Chains A and B, each alone.
Chain A
Amino acid sequence: EDQVTQSPEALRLQEGESSSLNCSYTVSGLRGLFWYRQDPGKGPEFLFTLYSAGEEKEKERLKATLTKKESFLHITAPKPEDSATYLCAAPGNTPLVFGKGTRLSVIA
């Protein structure tokens, strides 16, 4: 069964305190690993797609990396406006599977 597991469920950081979010997946026929950001009351906002192990992508303070079994979203020197839920998703041979997300709170 295709599964996507995210950890931690919630993360509280001080402004400027770097950290990483984890997304582990067991998806057959993986066709990319997607990261989204979701603010309260809004739909998910696309951040990155990673297609192969070793691939990295960056956007402002975020960098996503991919291995054969997991992906990491690294947040460098976060700001309060980075507070949101971060979701990862993997399409395989079954419908797109989302993780439950990591709720990130960045405190000034």
Chain B
Amino acid sequence: EAGVVQSPRYKIIEKKQPVAFWCNPISGHNTLYWYRQNLGQGPELLIRYENEEAVDDSQLPKDRFSAERLKGVDSTLKIQPAELGDSAVYLCASSREDYYEQYFGPGTRLTVT
């Protein structure tokens, strides 16, 4: 069974530039999560999807972050414009249903200069 796929693995951009991350979850997993992980910290949930519906986006900074999950499969997380404080690892995870064990992708390491 293929795992969660994320791309790109690394991204370096200048502040104020836009950036997008892509995630393909495990087949059959209805719930998809985007997390942000800063160095030495645990992952912080940004948004959770049940199929194509965003059911929890309370911690997503909506002034600059947006996400979509068209057709309830792949998902894209966008930041526009990026700020220096957005430098972090962005993780995507999926699970069969909410509150079941989540399986994580390798993450995208974003550096904003």
Residue of B at shortest CB range from A9? B40
User: Looking at chain A's contact residues, is the secondary structure mostly helix, strand, loop, or mixed?
Assistant: loop
| Count of interface residues, chain A, beta-carbon cutoff 8 Å | 21
Q: Does B56 contact A (CB under 8 A)?
A: yes
Residues of B near any A CB (own CB < 8 A): 4, 33, 40-45, 48, 56, 58-59, 91, 93, 98-107
Which of A14-22, A61-69, A70-78, A90-98 is found at the contact surface with chain B? A90-98
Residues of A near any B CB (own CB < 8 A): 4, 31-32, 34, 36, 41-46, 49, 87, 89, 91, 95-96, 98-101
Given contacts A95-B56, A95-B58, A95-B59, contact A44 B99 (CB under 8 A): no
Chain B residues within an 8 Å CB radius of A31:
99
Residue of A at shortest CB range from B4? A43
